Chains A and B, each alone.
Chain A
Amino acid sequence: MKFKSLALAATVTAVGLGALATAPAAFAQAKEQFFPLLAYRTGPYAPNGTPWANGKQDYIKMINARDGGINGVKITFEECETGYATDKGVECYERLKGRPGVTLIDPQATGITFALTDKVAADKIPLLTLGYGLSASQDGNVFKWNFPLMGSYWTAADMLIQHIGKKEGGLDKLKGKKIALVYHDSPFGKEPMPLLDERSKMHGFELQKIPVTAPGVEQKSAWLQVRQSKPDYVLLWGWGVMNSTALKEAQATGYPRDKMYGVWWAGAEPDVKDVGEGAKGYNALNLNTSGQSPKVIQDILKLVHDKGQGTGPKEEVGTVLYTRGLIIQMLGVEAVRRAQERYGKGKVMTGEQVRWGLENLALDQKKLDALGFSGVMRPLSTSCQDHMGSTWARVHTWDGAKWAFSSDWLQADEQIIKPMVTAAADKYAAEKKLTRRTPADCQS
């Protein structure tokens, strides 16, 4: 019996290892642009990670079905489950980075972004972290391979303070007010702090930092603190189950939801749906619209979902995070298209060429309209120095049944962000013994 099971175990291991060793060679194919998709469909962050991952996949399927790929180059993809865990994310990255035609990585998690930032530079694969990741990586002169397109946690925090200031009737009215930051106790939640500290010094409001232990299903003590100190506003920096739990706790403590402002990762349907009426009045930043009316979503419904090839349930198409997934994937595809303009149409782009494409993105309104993204997002253009492209976002409010925009377009204050980004990038460069890129390097 024991011998048999031992032999069985040995065979299974041998087969597995054999498969591991031979795997990369068997899949060498030509003329395909490969997108590694790191996703999480299990665990406490799955409710938010799933629509995001679905959006990315559906966009690829739609581009292949409608245009036959990027100028004739078919797009392939493979998904790898990270469960939002850093070590699993690193394993996924190592597994997928060696595939032929690998384009770029969107790790969908700040922790994984931190771990990959050093690795991508050595492997020459761009890291696309739309609205998350390392705030300092906006500085393309130091962070050659990072692209926090459309915003970082610093721009988000800045816009929220501006918006609250406007509500109070001017930023100077913030003096003496108390703002609490209820944050996910991880790099994700801690990133906005330097900016909030800066702003609190400028305007004289008191910043109270209240950590919530990851994953955030237990928040009683955090909200007890909120109840005791009665802050004028609460900024919610959560992700996954933490958001809906926070809203339920706010309801239980009686903290007014309309004084709560979430980052754009704390303002989607999964966060408020379970709370329903209880979340009424809750505000959050948003980078994009939601709904099924944009042309790109109509195309996806027609070409992907009606053919039975949709990745997720049809009614979730066009939700906030799904649409964000679309934007991320669209930017990746457009970066490849831009790179092809320079390095040869209809060719498979390498990671280095895609990096040039990301750095020279120029999506004006006309282009966005042509892509079917009119109204979904604002134009964006990147450069060698600025890897963010734009910082526009709006605040939307949950009315108990749906999200509705409740502010104009906001923009982060360059005067504050820029020196902070430069200082943080310089510090990073000094720690890693990097030198700033030369103008000549920008041309390559």
Chain B
Amino acid sequence: MLYRENGQFKSSYRSDQQIFPILQDRIAIGLLLAVAFVAIPLLSSEYLMRAIFVPFLILSLAALGLNILVGYCGQISLGTGAFMAIGAYAAYNFQARIPGMPLVFSLLLGGLCSTAVGVLFGIPSLRIKGLYLAVATLAAQFFTDWAFLRIKWFTNDSSSGSVSVAGLNVFGIPIESPVQKYLLCLGFLVVFALLAKNLVRGAIGREWMAIRDMDVAAAVIGIRPVYAKLTAFAVSSFIVGVAGGLWGFVHLGSWEPAAFNIDRSFQLLFMVIIGGLGSIMGSFFGAAFIVVLPIVLDGLPYWFGIPIDTALASHLTFMIFGALIVFFLIVEPHGIARLWSTAKEKLRLWPFPH
């Protein structure tokens, strides 16, 4: 009844091609942005900001990047943690070695370094496919783990191998309070989400999807697999690299290679699979599911005032979390994003379904 596009006529190509062709969607997105930019910073506590929203935003960004590669181009990658690490360490080096380097440029340059390495590790994708490619990208993971642990130059000769950043500011505005950190991450996320959305609906995104669905057929109709696959690797690792920089600089402040280990790669891959492959929205759902849910589960006994052993609580969290993953994958194998679009379809017919 409310969510129906009757009477909304498109009279120009421009209005036909907008991201959200339905008025109600545009209103909803506008409201969501208003909540994200205004209401959340005003209303939420420091804990919510620092421990939930900031990691959620950064990992959403990383999941978004990975979704381009896995969801849109169909190239399974287990090297996401590695590309995050490259983004973070490269940004750290730009920041530490070039005095007066603005933070945003460091992060973007970190993303570019990650792009270069991502393309390099994407080259094998021209020959190998599917699970074999996943194993090949695993090499990126082990290589960066090794490089950042062993090559002292990358960590600016830090004796413990741990690097840290301080005194962050964006064009003179310090990034210290939780609200500032939150807004910085949100800014990056909104810009990159818009960029990604436009890329995947444009010519290049269609090439990626054609490669994903059947690469031989795509090649026959004139899509160059080299170009399509490598651009997917490039865009994906750029976004992932920037997310890595944010994770190190904004969320942790001080990190070691273990912050970007193989577990992180798996975590991001699960986010993309559970959230929904080939869906921008799915990246957000996946990140929310994987980041926020364990924290909420962990905190439940305390909030309800039930004294419970810490070890037991954390085991319970693992069990419930695992059960929920299985539940969601059985109910909707295409991810939470598909549930979302099913709900929207139903809503269009509500309250008179046929």
> Contact residues of A with B, CB < 8 Å?
1-3, 5-6, 13, 16-17, 19-21, 23-24, 39, 41-42, 46, 50, 53, 78-81, 83, 86-87, 90-91, 94-95, 98, 110-111, 114-115, 117-119, 122, 134, 185-187, 190-191, 193-194, 211, 214, 424, 431-433
Closest B residue to A185 by CB, please name it: B149
Interface residues of B in 148-196 (CB under 8 A from A): 149, 159-162, 164, 166-167, 176
Cross-chain contact of A81 among B46, B259, B314, B332 (Cβ < 8 A): B314
10 sample A-B contacts, Cβ–Cβ < 8 Å, listed by A number: A5-B331, A16-B292, A21-B45, A80-B310, A81-B311, A86-B259, A87-B252, A94-B47, A185-B149, A187-B161
Residues in chain B near residue A191, CB distance under 8 A? 159-160
Residues in chain B near residue A19, CB distance under 8 A? 296, 299-300, 303-304
Contact A90 B310 (CB under 8 A): no
Given contacts A20-B299, A98-B45, A186-B258, contact A41 B311 (CB under 8 A): yes
Any A CB within 8 A of the CB of B298: yes
Closest A residue to B309 by CB, please name it: A41
Closest B residue to A41 by CB, please name it: B311
Contact A194 B254 (CB under 8 A): no
Given contacts A16-B300, A433-B167, contact A86 B346 (CB under 8 A): no
Closest B residue to A197 by CB, please name it: B159
Cross-chain contact of B47 among A13, A24, A110, A194 (Cβ < 8 A): A24
Distance, CA A433 to CA B259, complexed state (A): 25
Contact flags B37-63 to A (C-beta < 8 A → 1, else 0): 000000011111011100100000000
Cross-chain contact of A190 among B47, B161, B342 (Cβ < 8 A): B161
Cross-chain contact of A95 among B162, B299, B327, B332 (Cβ < 8 A): B299
Closest A residue to B256 by CB, please name it: A187
Chain B interface size, as a band, is 35 or more
Any A CB within 8 A of the CB of B313: yes
Given contacts A90-B251, A194-B159, A432-B167, contact A41 B299 (CB under 8 A): no
Given contacts A16-B296, A90-B252, A94-B51, contact A2 B159 (CB under 8 A): no
Any A CB within 8 A of the CB of B302: yes
Contact A118 B253 (CB under 8 A): yes
A20 to chain B, nearest CB (A): 6
Given contacts A114-B162, A117-B254, contact A81 B298 (CB under 8 A): yes
Any A CB within 8 A of the CB of B339: yes
- Residue among B149, B254, B300 with max Cβ neighbours from chain A (10 Å): B254
Contact A98 B149 (CB under 8 A): no
